Amino acid sequence: MTDPSTPDLSTPDVTTQGTDDGSRPHPHLRVQQDGPVLTVTLDNTARRNAQLPSLWLALAEVAQGLDASVRVVVLRAEGPSFSAGLDLSVVAGDPAKAPQGEPDLFEIAGRGVEEAADVIAGFQRGFTAWAEAEAVVVAAVQGHAIGAGFQLALAADLRVVADDVQLAMRETSLGLVPDLGGTQPLVSLVGPSRALELCATGRFVGAQEAVAAGLANVAVPRDELEATTADLVAALLAAPEAALRALKPLLRSAVSADRETQLRAERETQAVLLRGLGEARATGRR
Ligand code: CAA
């Protein structure tokens, strides 16, 4: 039974379904599948794609419900900024101005660490589920990607950034910490020392530094962001499908697995792929 004191965190109504414009699992989110490519677009341009907790739940649903035919996901955003991070109205402390249906994060925290952590775990899925998806996830990032916006970019496997990109982890500046799955990819990309500096200062990282530090795969002029992303998607689709699907979990596990576990994962993955290739050759000969 629903606890009436619990905010309704269900995903807002789908406002369009199956149109040419794709589906809309959240008022600020558009999802469109074109063959093996799923494009997920943040489109609350007026608020610089600031993110509400309900958006995180909608992102989790999309990531966890990917069709098996999807091989590449593009995470992108309309407007000048990829995302200004958490919609600050939910922490403004003024219930009158709080968006309807969104949780009061302070009230949730007041219920105790365990209960609050459970709620946040649901929010985290909107970020972490992309790493677990079989499809390769590419973020195309322009303008500001702040806080939750930066963490969403970090949730992708690859990042193409525009030359106007401004990445910043601002949670610490608000008296908080990054809690949407961003700490692990950040540290694995730039190391603990640079990660601490970026989070503690909240400073902006531009395109050149992002590429040099490994936060972005490539930086391109703003008007080439879409075309470069499309080229990268085409290159990913050109890779043999089974090998690419096996590659992502193998490389991700290399970050944290011990050497023996990783070696086993390599050889077992290879054995499966070799068997598949062998069967294909045999079938081809027949
Ligand atoms: N929440 C709600 N509204 C936001 C917003 C946010 N995070 N960021 C921007 N907006 C709104 C502005 O209020 C403004 O609305 P109005 O037109 O109604 O005044 C509109 O979006 C456009 O914003 P700006 O005029 O400021 O646009 P800009 O291009 O000059 O600047 C910006 C863009 C640098 C992103 C600036 O808006 C900004 O600094 N925003 C706040 C960023 C921030 O601190 N986010 C929180 C990060 S921490 C986090 O995300 C916490 C977490 O995960 C737990």
Cβ-contact 139, 76 below 8 angstroms? yes
Evaluate if residue 11 carries a pLDDT over 70.
no
Work out the pLDDT band at 20, boundaries 50, 70, 90.
Answer: low
Evaluate if residue 10 carries a pLDDT over 50.
no
How do residues 267-280 score in pLDDT, each as one tens digit?
999 999 999 999 99
The arithmetic mean of pLDDT across residues 193-212, rounded, is: 98
CA-nearest residue, atom 32 of ligand 1:
84
Q: Counting atoms of ligand 1 from 1, which one is nearest the CA of 144?
A: 35
Residue 121 CB–ligand 1 contact under 6 Å = no
Work out the pLDDT band at 1, boundaries 50, 70, 90.
Answer: very low
Q: What pLDDT, on a 0 to 100 scale, did the predictor assign at position 103?
A: 85
Evaluate if residue 6 carries a pLDDT over 60.
no
Q: What pLDDT, on a 0 to 100 scale, did the predictor assign at position 285?
A: 60
Residue 47, exposed/middle/buried by CB under 10 A (0-12, 13-18, 19+)? middle
Rounded CA-CA distance 66/36 in Å is 11
Mutate to test the pocket of ligand 1, among 43, 47, 48 (most ligand atoms within 8 A of CB): 48
| pLDDT, mean over the chain | 92
- CA 111, distance to chain mean position in Å, is 28
90 closest CA partner among 124, 50, 140, 43: 50
Residue 102 CB–ligand 1 contact under 6 Å = no
Rounded CA-CA distance 216/229 in Å is 12
Q: Counting atoms of ligand 1 from 1, which one is nearest the CA of 151?
A: 53
How do residues 122-131 score in pLDDT, each as one tens digit?
999 999 999 9
- Which alpha helices (H) appear in 133-215, and where do they start and end? 148-155, 183-201, 207-212
How do residues 70-105 score in pLDDT, each as one tens digit?
999 999 999 999 999 999 998 887 767 778 889 888
Centre of ligand 1 from the C-alpha of residue 192, in Å: 27
How do residues 210-241 score in pLDDT, each as one tens digit?
999 999 999 999 999 999 999 999 999 999 99
Residue 144 CB–ligand 1 contact under 6 Å = yes
Residue 217, exposed/middle/buried by CB under 10 A (0-12, 13-18, 19+)? middle
- Which alpha helices (H) appear in 47-147, and where do they start and end? 53-64, 105-110, 113-132
- Reading the block at residue 93, the tokens are 């402390």
Evaluate if residue 109 carries a pLDDT over 80.
yes
